[in-house]
Structure 1
Amino acid sequence: MDGHTNGTNGSCSKPCEPLTDYCIPDYILNPDSEQVLVDQAPCCPVVVFINSRSGGQLGSSLIKTYRELLNKAQVFDLSEEAPEKVLHRLYCNFEKLKSNGDPIAFQIQSNLRLIVAGGDGTASWLLGVVSDLKLSHPPPIATVPLGTGNNLPFSFGWGKKNPTTDQEAVKSFLGQVKKAREMNIDSWHIIMRMRAPQEGPCEPIAPLELPHSLHAFHRVSGSDSLNMVRIMKRPGGQWEELKIPRSIRSIVCLNLPSFSGGLNPWGTPGTRKVQDRDLTAPFVDDGLIEVVGFRDAWHGLVLLAPNGHGTRLAQAHRIRFEFHKGAAEHTFMRIDGEPWKQPLPKDDDTVVVEISHLRQVTMLASDPCKSKSVNDPSSPMCCSNHDDDERNSLEDEDEWEEGRKKFGAADTFKFPDEVDVAHLS
């Protein structure tokens, strides 16, 4: 079977010769399909994930177009099937076929690229799943802007306006995916810890539907005003208290050069100011998260001033927020574009939110790309490696580690026992 073949089993729906570069044979995608002889592997095989609920009717329309141009079996509606299930099935089948000596499976796995269309929350969901797979050569990811903020696509050169969904527009995007360059981006781990109340019902810590990047493993209730922020500048280093100016009303932690739909959140500080505060240029792969303060309690209001920006407070490998009892009953939080109203403590309890560096995933970047790599000589103010001579840790690190193990975008992901994960590539 090849891209020219018409059929009823999910093959390309009509002859479209250029798209054979992207079409994946059925037997690669479905373990139950009969293996067939294929002369040549596609040079840019893609698996497409689309959130049909994003962008109004655009999501559903985009699914229809991709399925017209590619193998229907390689285009997935995220409202119907989670990405971890798709990739679990696909990579298990890769291993089975490669063990049987199938060279096409090996080539497709080596050249595989993922496309995700949806908002920032949808894209981050897929990035988290791929990160959790811990593959030695994870497939790079291209993002289609199909939400409100679209900060991920905008940061890597894919634009921020929702796309048109006709065949020519999709063909053009696929051409960009084939030409795109790979670029690493840091993956971050977030954990919230709080004690369940002794009396009364437990309240959810977030909306009834948690963002896909969060998983509740205890039902607990909430806390009050921000009391302390601690940062760790390098792995294994010491925690130090971050002094927050009294004028700061909200804090944003991010690893992208774009916030709130294209805003540059930290402006362009002078060289002397950067050196005085021990700050480097913001890179997406340096293992450091940017901590930016705003004078507004509502992050979106900074858009009212076109040149407005926040104040860079710090760069950290790990950051911890501690909330104690105070005047407020709740605070507003947002992760990957997903907001909720977080209850705060009414007693002497403490709510802690920790963000820590996890690993890296690979993005696909198209020009113009706003994200900068610390390993790119053309990037301004490349920083040297930090010394890693401080190894102090907190007494409760074991407790945090236990919590970390229970979190992950693909927390149910597990290869069958007969698959040797160490050999996945």
Structure 2
Amino acid sequence: MWRYRSWDVPQIPAEALHTQKAITKSGLPHLAPPPSAPGALCGESERQIRSTVDWSESATYGEHIWFETNVSGDFCYVGEQYCVAKMLQKSVSRRKCAACKIVVHTPCIEQLEKINFRCKPSFRESGSRNVREPTFVRHHWVHRRRQDGKCRHCGKGFQQKFTFHSKEIVAISCSWCKQAYHSKVSCFMLQQIEEPCSLGVHAAVVIPPTWILRARRPQNTLKASKKKKRASFKRKSSKKGPEEGRWRPFIIRPTPSPLMKPLLVFVNPKSGGNQGAKIMQSFLWYLNPRQVFDLSQGGPREALEMYRKVHNLRILACGGDGTVGWILSTLDQLRLKPPPPVAILPLGTGNDLARTLNWGGGYTDEPVSKILSHVEEGNVVQLDRWDLRAEPNPEAGPEDDGATDRLPLDVFNNYFSLGFDAHVTLEFHESREANPEKFNSRFRNKMFYAGTAFSDFLAGGSKDLAKHIRVVCDGTDLTPKIQELKPQCIVFLNIPRYCAGTMPWGHPGEHHDFEPQRHDDGYLEVIGFTMTSLAALQVGGHGERLTQCREVLLITSKAIPVQVDGEPCRLAASRIRIALRNQATMVQKAKRRSTAPLHSDQQPVPEQLQIQVSRVSMHDYEALHYDKEQLREASVPLGTVVVPGDSDLELCRAHIERLQQEPEGAGAQSSMCQKLSPKWCFLDATTASRFYRIDRAQEHLNYVTEIAQDEIYILDPELLGASARPNLPTPTSPVPTSPCSPTPRLLQGDAAPPAGEELIEAARRNDFCKLQELHRAGGDLTHRDERSRTLLHHAVSAGSKDVVRYLLEHTPPEILDAAEENGETCLHQAAALRQRTICHYIVEAGASLMKTDQQGDTPRQRAEKAQDTELAAYLASRQHYQMIQREDQETAV
């Protein structure tokens, strides 16, 4: 009969023993492992606080993975008896284990040995003494002082302790399957300790620790015949490949099952700011830590080689399109049969491949548990990959000193382009390599792109592109057509998306002369762009469709900037051949198949649904999205929509946007203070323990009935938060229900229009609703004071974003450039005060960026004097854009 070992089950902190009658009565041993046990801890001088998984042969069984944390309200897990911080009576740093989520003071990590507590084991030992080792996984029970959800035994919720440093343990939960019980005899019994663990709802993607064996290196074999073994090893290595012949401390011995889809997660921690590092900790909690890999620690090759024999393996690439390309190229080199399909969690900036496969334009805050479900349920599709072969053009003139004869990549998944867009990307990359400290924010990066694009446009560096290239597609010479078009950029496109989500080939149904665009049909789309069509691309336009082809011969007669999936270079005169390389296996996010209705499961989905729509401010969402009830209370009713019962969110969006276009009383609450902003998105209120945002690119994958129960919640980033909204009147109050409705006095027909001083005072005091009341009562929003300052000037001085937006919506355009006595416009004033959001509002409304004050300064120069370089860069780029627009208008005339 199997006898469990003390290091297989985490033990109870001594401080908490008196509160754990269920455990002490059950006789759970509290013994330290013997020195020879595989889990024996190192001495104090040898202990290392690890934040990564140890793959060496000296890896410790049940080792924690520590990250710094600011969770100050959690009691130290070792208990007061062993807590070093308690003895020192001073504040010290804390660390949290990503795999089991216990929190301890950093000096107390050593004390975990005394209470015999280890993390969930991620592997098992090989050897004769483990022949009878059970092939199933045991629970890893951990005491919790705070626990969400309900007890699996009694179904009641866990009592939440809101006091800091609460010592009372309310729950016992398993780090593997996440089952939780009340910490009392009636709910948690001995049989729960010893029963096998199911690994939870994501068992199909979790790699069990029983599959991963730590192999012990023989101590005498290498010494006995060192030279002979080395020679034999070299011969075998030369036949097997660079990785197969090398000894590894860990061996993967899977137990194949048709129901399992084991997952390897590769995270690029540098992608998406700090998103990669944070999301990796979540994967360590939900999965076996030995199936989560940091790409900055040597890349994906070692892990893929180790797991190559795992049946039904899937891969999740967490990063940008470059990260995905890196993994696909490694799979090509390893020649895995069959190749594992790759899913994407987009953490980069462009994420065009992720958008194509329905994974969205970027990760927001979707729970990791839902991401794992999407990866498991996703459809396997094919993706064309294209070979690039470049060789010098012998017929060209002398070489450019700054050019290279090699492409940055020899294969592409998304696109290959040359001309204007490649030149802008190349300038950005060279500048970032020279001064990396100046490119530490996305805002600054985008402004640099805009400035470089404007400079290249003025210099005309790509206007003669057609004179120096020859393009032959499937034997047809397109050069005459290209010379007639005179494009400044040519793109060879494999997927529908390009340049952060635009569709350069056009939307489906717009190109009747060509076959529909696909990423698995073995064809490339060839598109030419003039400067006009490049500008129109960002607002839904497309380029000039040239052809669809299987092979391309591109001949350049001089050095030209090119880019391969975003990797740029200045390529010397070359002959470039493009041909299909192979097809990669990918995972496409699927539309949810379950169409559970709003009501009980026995009732069919109704033909029509009448659903209340409520919107939430960004302020309230960030503060309350972990508390559904409070967030519901903070939401603001918008109206009611009637949609078909099987509607997806794309269709529902169209109905919601019609709400405020309908006349008074037609279903919309037109008396609301603020209109719905164009940046709103849906919130999923039902499928997770908290609200989370749904990417707009994924709305066609979600049904209305999947995210809502009787009420749809939407996030409006420009809505006033509850803390900023005026107090709503009570139901018994005679004041009208809308907080911004005109007062009865101002509604009287014989009342005189409000004086201009009242409007100015409302703008100065940031009293948005008062200003709206005065306007509805006949107040003149174009009023100026004795110094010629407009209401916009006063609103900017007060820093009132809502008043500024209201004035921009309800005043004539000439107010934007109205100047006071010293020549300052409202934009000058906002730039001097470093008000970035208000500057954005005013610029987008059409204010001139070329206007100067009495000192000759433009708004950009005022921002520079205020030492706001990012705002100055933004204003400079918009100033360039206005100049281009003006030139285009003059040319058109």
| Shorter-chain TM band | 0.5 to 0.7
SS at match of 2:367: helix
Q: CA separation of 1:39/1:240 partners in 2, compared to 1, >3 Å: closer, same or farther?
A: closer
Find the aligned partners of 1:205 and 1:36 in 2 and give their Cα distance: 46
Find the aligned partners of 1:297 and 1:138 in 2 and give their Cα distance: 42
CA-to-aligned-CA distance 1:145-197 (integer Å, 9 cap, x gap): 11111111111111112233xxx711110001111111111111112222799
1:50 and 1:117 in contact (8 A); partners too? yes
> AA paired with 1:55?
G
1:187 and 1:360 in contact (8 A); partners too? yes
User: What is the match of residue 331 of structure 1?
Assistant: 560
Find the aligned partners of 2:400 and 2:499 in 1 and give their Cα distance: 37
The structural deviation recorded for 1:59 is 1.0
> AA paired with 1:138?
P
User: What is the match of residue 354 of structure 1?
Assistant: 577
Find the aligned partners of 2:533 and 2:560 in 1 and give their Cα distance: 11
- Regions of 4+ moved over 6 Å: 34-42, 195-202
User: What is the match of residue 151 of structure 1?
Assistant: 352
The structural deviation recorded for 1:230 is 1.2
2:202 and 2:373 in contact (8 A); partners too? no
User: What is the match of residue 458 of structure 2?
Assistant: none
CA-to-aligned-CA distance 1:302-342 (integer Å, 9 cap, x gap): 444x12111111111111211104xxxx533221122x241
Unpaired stretches in structure 1, ≥5 consecutive residues: 95-108, 215-223, 233-237, 345-349, 372-425
User: What is the match of residue 175 of structure 2?
Assistant: 14
1:139 aligned to which of 340, 344, 356 = 340
1:26 and 1:33 in contact (8 A); partners too? no
> Superposition pairs for residues 44-55 of structure 1, below 5 Å?
44-55=261-272
Q: CA separation of 1:200/1:228 partners in 2, compared to 1, >3 Å: closer, same or farther?
A: closer
CA-to-aligned-CA distance 1:268-318 (integer Å, 9 cap, x gap): 4868x644xxx311111111111111112996x4444x1211111111111
Aligned length: 318
RMSD, aligned CA: 3.7
SS at match of 1:360: strand
1:342 aligned to which of 551, 555, 570 = 570
Find the aligned partners of 2:9 and 2:516 in 1 and give their Cα distance: 51
- 1:227 equivalenced with 2:507 (yes/no): no
1:250 and 1:298 in contact (8 A); partners too? no
User: RCO higher in 1 or 2 (8 Å CA, sep ≥ 6)?
Assistant: 1
Return 262-271 or 350-359, whichever deviates more: 262-271
User: What is the match of residue 588 of structure 2?
Assistant: 365
- 1:179 equivalenced with 2:179 (yes/no): no
Find the aligned partners of 1:179 and 1:14 in 2 and give their Cα distance: 24
The structural deviation recorded for 1:27 is 6.6
CA-to-aligned-CA distance 1:351-375 (integer Å, 9 cap, x gap): 122221011111111136999xxxx
> AA paired with 2:122?
G
Find the aligned partners of 1:182 and 1:40 in 2 and give their Cα distance: 18
User: What is the match of residue 518 of structure 2?
Assistant: 283
Q: CA separation of 1:229/1:172 partners in 2, compared to 1, >3 Å: closer, same or farther?
A: same
User: What is the match of residue 501 of structure 2?
Assistant: 262
Q: CA separation of 1:20/1:41 partners in 2, compared to 1, >3 Å: closer, same or farther?
A: farther
1:27 and 1:35 in contact (8 A); partners too? no
Find the aligned partners of 2:320 and 2:410 in 1 and give their Cα distance: 12
1:120 and 1:151 in contact (8 A); partners too? yes
> Superposition pairs for residues 21-420 of structure 1, below 5 Å?
21-26=204-209, 28=211, 32-33=249-250, 43-91=260-308, 94=309, 109-164=310-365, 169-194=367-392, 204=404, 210=408, 226-232=468-474, 238=475, 240-242=477-479, 243-244=481-482, 245-268=484-507, 274-275=512-513, 279-296=514-531, 301-304=535-538, 306-325=539-558, 330-338=559-567, 340-344=568-572, 350-367=573-590
1:230 and 1:320 in contact (8 A); partners too? yes
Find the aligned partners of 2:555 and 2:252 in 1 and give their Cα distance: 56
The structural deviation recorded for 1:137 is 1.9
Q: Percent identity?
A: 29
Greater Rg by CA: 2
Unpaired stretches in structure 2, ≥5 consecutive residues: 1-7, 11-61, 64-120, 124-139, 141-173, 178-199, 214-247, 413-463, 593-696, 699-893
SS at match of 1:20: coil
Find the aligned partners of 2:540 and 2:254 in 1 and give their Cα distance: 59
